[in-house]
């Protein structure tokens, strides 16, 4: 018998629109069971390795709690407490770890590192954030949008801030799920279509002024001015990003029912005003919770495929 091909989730474009439709439905099903205190344990005896080379709260808790809730267990590794921090070659680490567990999630720096790990892995690998992408976050963000507003097809998402891993992943999602991203970044921090890995510029528009990006948007979203790994640029970024703070004025020019999202952690008074993130249009707590449900659907899909 031939084993089914391994699927990895290294960037948003690894799945099709049809697979996302399945995942969003499945996440809703899994969430409903969780809320009703019903057991859902399709991954009994499966083990997930969580590898963190950068800090995390949401990603760690959602994957760790999620895997236990699915009936499996978790091994947690960081650069500091494993041979990963002592220069063991990445493919040697991948060969060893993937002989002992069923699934691996990695949060690291360069995308090339997770690609190298996946190439040598016997088991599916999930991107828990790299410098270039954060697909699990956008999976949860889209699930949250759908819960609140229905399909995102044809809608407009305003991205205000850094042309970073989150922005790149939104661009990939727009291309696959057929919506538009209005991007406004300070100059020098633009998105790069090649890094974002998208085929064309059809699904996004660039705006100099963040107010123009927000005009008519169905969802306004932002992220920290300085992502992990870029701390040395902190001072320069504080100056460059001063006008890229999502405030009530920006929310006023968006659609009256526009949502606000932020992947968190947030800095009130920097990339977002407290009145916005703590205001009535913000769905950041649902967004954070939905990491749990969306990733449970993802792990189930990677290990068991579609459940009829």
Catalytic positions, written as ranges: 107, 134, 137, 223, 263, 291
How many Cβ atoms are within 10 Å of 106's Cβ, its own excluded?
26
Segment near ligand CP (CB under 6 A), from 55-63, 118-126, 190-198, 273-281?
Answer: 55-63
> How far from each other are the two terminal CA atoms of the chain, in whole angstroms?
22
Looking at beta carbons only, is 38 or 235 nearer to ligand NVA? 235
State phi, psi for 200 to the nearest 5 degrees: -145, 175
Residues paired with residue 49 on neighbouring β-strands, in sequence order: 75, 104
Q: Does 195 bind ligand NVA (CB under 6 A)?
A: no
Angle, helices 135-149/284-304, rounded to nearest 10 degrees? 120
Q: Does 169 bind ligand CP (CB under 6 A)?
A: no
Segment near ligand NVA (CB under 6 A), from 106-114, 141-149, 222-230, 300-308?
Answer: 222-230
Contact assessment for residue 251 and residue 221, using Cβ atoms and an 8 Å cutoff: no
Of 208-267, which residues contact ligand CP (CB under 6 A)?
263-264
Judged on CB neighbours under 10 Å (0-12, 13-18, 19+), 109 is middle
DSSP state of 253: H
What three-state secondary structure class fits 20? helix
From the list ligand NVA, ligand CP, none, pick the one residue 227 interacts with, judged by a Cβ distance below 5 to 8 Å according to partner type.
ligand NVA
What three-state secondary structure class fits 274? helix
Looking at beta carbons only, is 141 or 300 nearer to ligand NVA? 141
Contact assessment for residue 17 and residue 74, using Cβ atoms and an 8 Å cutoff: no
Q: Does 132 bind ligand NVA (CB under 6 A)?
A: no
- Give the one residue of 16, 41, 57, 83 binding ligand CP; rule: CB under 6 A: 57
Contact assessment for residue 217 and residue 158, using Cβ atoms and an 8 Å cutoff: yes
Least spacing, CB of residue 296 vs ligand CP, in Å = 16
Least spacing, CB of residue 45 vs ligand CP, in Å = 26
- Give the one residue of 137, 169, 203, 221 binding ligand CP; rule: CB under 6 A: 137
Contact assessment for residue 11 and residue 126, using Cβ atoms and an 8 Å cutoff: no
Question: In the numeric block, which tokens belong to residue 158?
Answer: 């305003």
- Give the one residue of 228, 233, 253, 289 binding ligand NVA; rule: CB under 6 A: 228
From the list ligand NVA, ligand CP, none, pick the one residue 165 interacts with, judged by a Cβ distance below 5 to 8 Å according to partner type.
ligand NVA
Q: Does 102 bind ligand NVA (CB under 6 A)?
A: no
Residues paired with residue 48 on neighbouring β-strands, in sequence order: 74, 103
Least spacing, CB of residue 295 vs ligand CP, in Å = 11
Q: Does 165 bind ligand NVA (CB under 6 A)?
A: yes
Binding site for ligand CP (CB under 6 A): 56-59, 129, 137, 263-264
Which spans of this chain sit near ligand NVA (rule: CB under 6 A)?
Answer: 129, 164-166, 223-224, 227-228, 263
């Amino acid at each position: 018998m031939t084993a089914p091909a391994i699927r990895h989730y290294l960037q948003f474009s690894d799945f099709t629109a049809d697979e996302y439709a399945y995942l969003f439905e499945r996440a809703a099903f899994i969430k409903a069971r969780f809320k009703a205190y019903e057991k859902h344990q399709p991954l009994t005896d499966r083990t997930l390795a969580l590898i963190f080379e950068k800090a995390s709260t949401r990603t760690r808790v959602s994957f760790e709690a999620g895997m236990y809730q699915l009936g499996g267990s978790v091994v947690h590794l960081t650069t500091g407490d494993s041979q990963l921090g002592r220069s063991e070659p990445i493919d040697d680490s991948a060969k060893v770890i993937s002989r002992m567990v069923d699934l691996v999630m990695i949060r690291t720096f360069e995308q090339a590192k997770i690609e190298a790990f996946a190439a040598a892995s016997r088991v599916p690998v999930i991107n828990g954030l790299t410098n270039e992408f954060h697909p699990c976050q956008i999976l949860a963000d889209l699930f949250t949008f759908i819960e609140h507003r229905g399909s995102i097809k044809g809608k407009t998402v305003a991205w205000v801030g850094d042309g970073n891993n989150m922005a790149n992943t939104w661009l990939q999602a727009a291309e696959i799920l057929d919506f538009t991203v209005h991007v406004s970044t300070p100059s020098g921090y633009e998105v790069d279509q090649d890094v974002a890995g998208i085929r064309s510029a059809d699904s996004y528009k660039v705006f100099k002024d963040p107010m123009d990006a927000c005009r008519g948007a169905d969802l306004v979203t932002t992220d920290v001015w300085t992502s992990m790994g870029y701390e040395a640029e902190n001072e320069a970024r504080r100056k460059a990003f001063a006008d890229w703070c999502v405030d009530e004025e920006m929310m006023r020019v968006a659609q009256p029912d526009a949502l606000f999202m932020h992947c968190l952690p947030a800095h009130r008074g920097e990339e977002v005003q407290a009145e916005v993130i703590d205001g009535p249009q913000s769905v950041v707590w649902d967004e954070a919770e939905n990491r749990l449900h969306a990733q449970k659907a993802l792990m189930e899909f990677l290990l068991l495929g579609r459940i009829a």
